[in-house]
Amino acid sequence: MYGFSNLTTFATLVITMATVLVFFALKNRKVLLSVKSEQHQLPPGPPTLPFIGNIHQMMWNKPAVFQWIHRLLQEMDTDIMCLRLGAIHVVAVICPEIACEVLRKKDEVLASRPATFASGSFSFGYKGTIVTPHGVQWKKMRRVLTSEILTASMEQKLHHLRQEECDHLVTYINNTCMSCPNSLVDVRHVAQHFCGNMIRRLVLGKRYFGSELPGSSASGPGHDEMAHVAALFTLLNYLYNFCVSDYFPALVGLDLEGHEKVSNDVMGILNRFHDPIIEKRIIERSNLRNGGESKEARDFLDVLVYLDDADGQPLLSVDDIRAQIVEMMYATIDNPSNAVEWALAEMVNKPEVMKKATDEINAVVGKDKLVQESDIPRLNYLKSCIREAFRIHPYHAFNPPHVAMVDTTIAGYTIPKDSHVILSRMGLGRNPKIWNEPLDFQPERHLNTANVLLSEPGLRFISFSSGRRGCPGISLGTSVTVMLFARMLQGFTWTKPPGVDRISLQESNTGALALAEPLILQAKPRLAAHLYEKI
């Protein structure tokens, strides 16, 4: 994240902002008048300055703007709060009842997304689904996802790819244990690159961008794969990141915070890896069609490339495909890896919880075979551990903003058109009005059903987004997350490194809620040796 290295830098930014904002304000006097007329009806919020609203406070609290917002909510003792960032009202919510109103009762009018430099860049000009504003393009791409990509039949068809990656995970960790002093394993590295491998296999049909490495079932990521995953996480950290130009579009091009350069650099990296594969598939499609042949889809990219419209022409443009590839990549990589890293950190500090989870795996699966996706419905305690990690430790403090397409109301307050409504993952999951001892890791909270699910319909916390803009990949996300965690717990005994009394649970203060430092644990195989061999 970019922050202010010293007061001189900050002062320069303020002067630049002030110059541009005065010009902006002179052309938009009606903004102030409309704000005054609405002020008594809006949700409670801190005092604002003319024209800029709370922008100065937002800038001062970078990079961890979310901490400032949650501090205000706590100080004001409110479940809903309105900030004004320039002419935009930003409404934060930390109450499940109000969150349900947003995503259920008012879902239709809150179904759009804001236009920002980063979201436009990351989506090739709003060609995908996640960040694309409500409209024809979003509806088309959403339909493609739900009816062609994330279907039960495609999930079953690609089961063998997921299986191979889970087997590779066990072999890779075992080889790492054998080759590293004290059998130390970087859990973050393992979890993030498992997710990277998995989504590359499902989307592109390949784990590596170059040739398969010798002994690749036991190999870790190469330089290209490391760069690919790093770019995806950088993208996630810059998307909807309270950049000043998100609220004052006149500042786009000045790149006052460096976000535009980072966004462009990230897309350059991703395009370098993705474009040659996409182009090759498009040529392959053209050659097959010219020869009157057809082909069964091998992966998600095949599905996208081979879709036809009513006239037999390609349904999706090249940029449609590029955008959807990027979105499927970044939508899959963060939550599973972050939840598993946090869950292991919490459980190593609570050996009794770790024992309950491994005892359950022993009882359900045994120790003479590896856990499979078909075992997931019966691993309720393990899923409760993941739910608890999602609750306390979401990777993102907020859901992507929901933009009001018309004037509406939430919790009895007026929400003007174009407002950004953000549901706080952190505020919901740690709300003391909802959860006793909210920061204590207690998986037993979730053992209230015969089949524990990772999703939370009551929105007491958010694991997968719901509603009209909700996550269509809950089944896939559940499989990836549970299998990552289950294989790691079944295959290895995880303990603190020598000389470490307790694992630090310090959060990063850079904008994401990851552990401040990567989790390093000692791992020892706990199954028969033949189960770790290359499959």
Mean pLDDT, 10 residues at a time, the chain of 535 residues: 42 49 48 47 97 96 95 98 98 98 96 98 98 98 98 97 96 92 95 98 93 58 96 98 96 96 98 98 90 84 96 96 99 97 99 98 97 98 99 97 98 98 98 97 95 96 95 97 99 97 94 95 96 73
Predicted pLDDT of residue 138? 98
pLDDT for the residue numbered 295: 80
Q: Report the pLDDT value the prediction gives residue 61, as an integer from 0 to 100.
A: 95
Alpha helices by DSSP H, 249-350 = 259-290, 300-306, 318-348
* In a domain? residue 500: yes
Count CB-CB contacts under 10 A for residue 241.
Answer: 22
Rounded-to-integer distance, Cα 11 and Cα 446, Å: 49
What is the per-residue pLDDT for 144?
A: 98
Residue 492: inside a domain, yes or no? yes
Consecutive H or E run containing 483: helix 474-491
In this prediction, residue 212 carries a pLDDT of 57
At residue 211, the pLDDT reads: 63
Sequence ranges of the binding site: 471
Provide the domain limits for residue 100.
Answer: 7-532
Domain for residue 1, yes or no? no
pLDDT score recorded for residue 9: 41
- Residue 176: inside a domain: yes
Residue owning tokens 């809620």:
513
Residue 136 is predicted with a pLDDT of 98
Per-residue pLDDT at 425: 98
Residue 2 included in any domain? no
CATH number at residue 173: 1.10.630.10
Tokens read off for 414: 């007026």
pLDDT for position 533? 79
- Number of structural domains the chain divides into: 1
Whole-prediction pTM: 0.92
Decide if 333 is inside a domain.
yes
- Give yes or no for a contact between 337 and 344, defined as CB atoms under 8 angstroms apart: no
154, part of any domain: yes
In a domain? residue 173: yes
Per the annotation, binding residues for heme are: 471
